[in-house]
Structure 1
Amino acid sequence: MNAKFLYVACIAVGMAILPAAAQEAFPKKPIKIIVPLGAGGSSDLGARIVARRLSQELKQPVVVENRTGGNQVIGIGAVKSAPADGYTLLWTTSGIFATSVVNKTVPFDALKDFDPITLGGRTNAVVIVHNSVPVTDLKSFVDYAKSNPNKLNFASTGGSVTLLIQYFMQTVGIDMPIVTYKSQPASMNDFLSGQVQVMIDRPSVYKSQIAAHGKAVAVTGAKRDRVTPDVPTVAELGYKGFDIDTWQAMFIRSETPPDRLAKIRAAMRRVMADAEVRKQFVDIGVEPAGSSAEELATLSRNDAARWKSVAAISKYQAE
């Protein structure tokens, strides 16, 4: 056997034993983004903004599919069950790291079973007190709540929202009954009528639907919100280090081939840097972000630890 023939044969054998994923062009078919939340919300809208631009980057259709239920468990579980081939992505919120706290059992480990791609955007939250309560700011609200135990109720839609409320109350040193509703419209209706006196919602919702009935006493994020620039942060008002908002981000199944993971991460960096994408995020009331995978991984670990601590202190009962 001559040397040239032997060389060609070795190359052929080497190519034959390469993993199929490494030999195939990627992507060569449509990609699916699963959103474990309902259609029409800010997370769903964010996913659809990203999908349109990502389709241009990858030159394949990118479709969004809503899989709701179980405090995000059904949709996240669907991504966990999908092949680790890069064709199924997860667009979810920070609530992914509350799932194991608010549910007794979940079919995944949020930190181990998914690799981070990028942070997409952040949504601030505003603490709102009904006008029937004689307070003017966060300090007077906290003082009133302490002086009038069990007189005020906090509206929640359950799950991660309840954990956020518990975290806020633990930080400012108050303890109020939490009334859980099946939907945000139901909680808002009771707030507007004064049946519950405190709620947390997005600044854009406060501005457009609630401002005539309640006072915004603080926002929960690290920075003031562009929609309510006159409302200070909780941290500004003396509670240093308090910083919590709802973020949305993209993840992928762990064990996805490294070349495909790298390609999606690079494409998403370009997507989140796109000026039109960022404008569209602002238009839906979300602060555009973008991040490295490492930054999202750090954020994920911190949130997972925070919610476990909040649940333990408040003795939260998993559903």
Structure 2
Amino acid sequence: MTKFAKVAALCGLIALPGLAAAQDYPSDTVTIVNPSSPGGGNDLVSRILSDALSKVWDQNIVVENKPGAGGAVSYGYVANATPDGHTILEGSMTFAMQAALNTDLPFDLMEKLPRVAMLGTSDIVVVTGTRNPIKTLDDLVRLSGETELFVGATGAESASELNARFVQEALGVTWKTVTYKSGAEAVVDLLGGRIDVWVASVPSNTAAIESGATPIMVLGDERSDLLPEVPTLAEAGYPDSTLSFWWGLFLPQGTPETVIDAVNEATVTAMNSPEAVEALARIGAKPSSMTAKEFDQQVTKEIATWKRLAGK
């Protein structure tokens, strides 16, 4: 055997574990761990994924809800799971926020939970209440400079609070934050006139809009299919200020790259199937086709944004 042949054979042996993992994967039921309670947006997307992915893999896919500690319960569970691709975390935009700001976690999220696939995105919409004269973005900017406006948030450095900071920075305005235990409580006060602004994803704001709240603008690159009459922030003259809510998949550190690639490829296929696209559209979301590398870059970019907005 020549020297070259020996090296080639050795490389083949080294690659065998990863190749075998990909060829045999998935060899058993795959569990998608969700950090939210049943019925929420994260949970709905998990169910859409599990249905579509089971057809791609011809394998059982189960969704396991593990809420608690702002997602830390599910993060820890998946981070400590066997890194073979059979236990997957389905997280969201809040993952990047917590990776940027939560120093109380017992481990580094970016180190322990590699980014695998973006499932889809939903527009974030700014809405105002029924008892103020704000009906357009121009109204919002003008009144922000003339009087004190109040914006709801579900806690310091929560998704709603950070999204509101993002909008204020883009518009060059300042609002006073009112904190609530839940988004539902904030919407009640928005409709009752006790706060003026609420910023959340389109699915989370549907009930508020149906009850009379006014959608002022969406933060994505394009108008929402569910709110086609509402302009984007970019259309209003702020082209560098775009933001979307997203859902994504994460695997334990040490998962073979071949398995990560297999999960990404299957996920893109599943979420872009006609059934999944239709199901996502019903909640105001669209599928993604990002590679694992592109998804990792997206999360890394957002972490920098949240650290800056939080002054860290």
Return the TM-score normalized by structure 1: 0.85
Which residue in the other structure is 1:124 paired with?
A: 123
Identity of aligned residues (%): 27
Deviates more, 1:154-163 or 1:52-61: 52-61
Distance 1:235 1:37, change over 3 A: same
Distance 1:98 1:204, change over 3 A: closer
- Does the aligned pair in 1 maintain the 2:150–2:178 contact within 8 Å? yes
Deviates more, 1:236-245 or 1:126-135: 126-135
- Does the aligned pair in 1 maintain the 2:49–2:276 contact within 8 Å? yes
Which residue in the other structure is 1:307 paired with?
A: 306
**Pairing 1:157–2:150 present:** no
- DSSP 3-state at the match of 1:122: strand
1:12-38 CA-to-partner distances (Å, cap 9, x unmatched) read xx98xx759947933222111111122
Distance 1:212 1:66, change over 3 A: closer
Distance 1:142 1:20, change over 3 A: closer
Which residue in the other structure is 1:36 paired with?
A: 35
Which one-letter code corresponds to 1:30 in the other structure?
Answer: T
Which residue in the other structure is 2:259 paired with?
A: 260
Distance 1:288 1:92, change over 3 A: same
Which residue in the other structure is 1:238 paired with?
A: 237
Which one-letter code corresponds to 2:178 in the other structure?
Answer: V
Between the aligned partners of 2:74 and 2:234, the Cα distance in structure 1 is 34
Q: Report the alpha carbon displacement of residue 207 of structure 1 after superposing the two structures with TM.
A: 5.0
Between the aligned partners of 1:191 and 1:161, the Cα distance in structure 2 is 14
Structure 1 regions of 5+ residues with no counterpart? Answer: 1-10
Q: Report the alpha carbon displacement of residue 55 of structure 1 after superposing the two structures with TM.
A: 1.9
Which residue in the other structure is 2:296 paired with?
A: 297
Q: Report the alpha carbon displacement of residue 205 of structure 1 after superposing the two structures with TM.
A: 5.3
- Does the aligned pair in 1 maintain the 2:130–2:191 contact within 8 Å? no
Which one-letter code corresponds to 1:33 in the other structure?
Answer: I
Between the aligned partners of 1:175 and 1:108, the Cα distance in structure 2 is 34
Which residue in the other structure is 1:183 paired with?
A: 182
Structure 2 regions of 5+ residues with no counterpart? Answer: 1-8
Give runs of aligned pairs for residues 166-205 of structure 1, distance below 5 A.
Answer: 166-204=165-203
Between the aligned partners of 1:251 and 1:104, the Cα distance in structure 2 is 20
1:172-217 CA-to-partner distances (Å, cap 9, x unmatched) read 1111111121112111111111111211233355455435533221
Between the aligned partners of 2:63 and 2:107, the Cα distance in structure 1 is 21
Q: Report the alpha carbon displacement of residue 69 of structure 1 after superposing the two structures with TM.
A: 2.1
**Pairing 1:92–2:91 present:** yes
Between the aligned partners of 1:26 and 1:79, the Cα distance in structure 2 is 18
The structure whose Rg is larger is: 1
Which residue in the other structure is 1:271 paired with?
A: 270
Between the aligned partners of 1:264 and 1:20, the Cα distance in structure 2 is 14
- Does the aligned pair in 2 maintain the 1:80–1:113 contact within 8 Å? yes
Which one-letter code corresponds to 1:153 in the other structure?
Answer: F
- DSSP 3-state at the match of 1:124: strand
**Count of aligned positions:** 299
- DSSP 3-state at the match of 1:221: coil
Deviates more, 1:289-298 or 1:202-211: 202-211
Return the TM-score normalized by structure 2: 0.87
Superposed CA RMSD in Å reads 2.5
- Does the aligned pair in 2 maintain the 1:192–1:210 contact within 8 Å? no
Deviates more, 1:209-218 or 1:286-295: 209-218
Q: Report the alpha carbon displacement of residue 85 of structure 1 after superposing the two structures with TM.
A: 1.6
- Does the aligned pair in 1 maintain the 2:119–2:268 contact within 8 Å? no
Distance 1:162 1:208, change over 3 A: closer
1:222-273 CA-to-partner distances (Å, cap 9, x unmatched) read 1111111111111211122111111011121231123322322222232123
Which residue in the other structure is 1:103 paired with?
A: 102
- Does the aligned pair in 2 maintain the 1:79–1:88 contact within 8 Å? yes
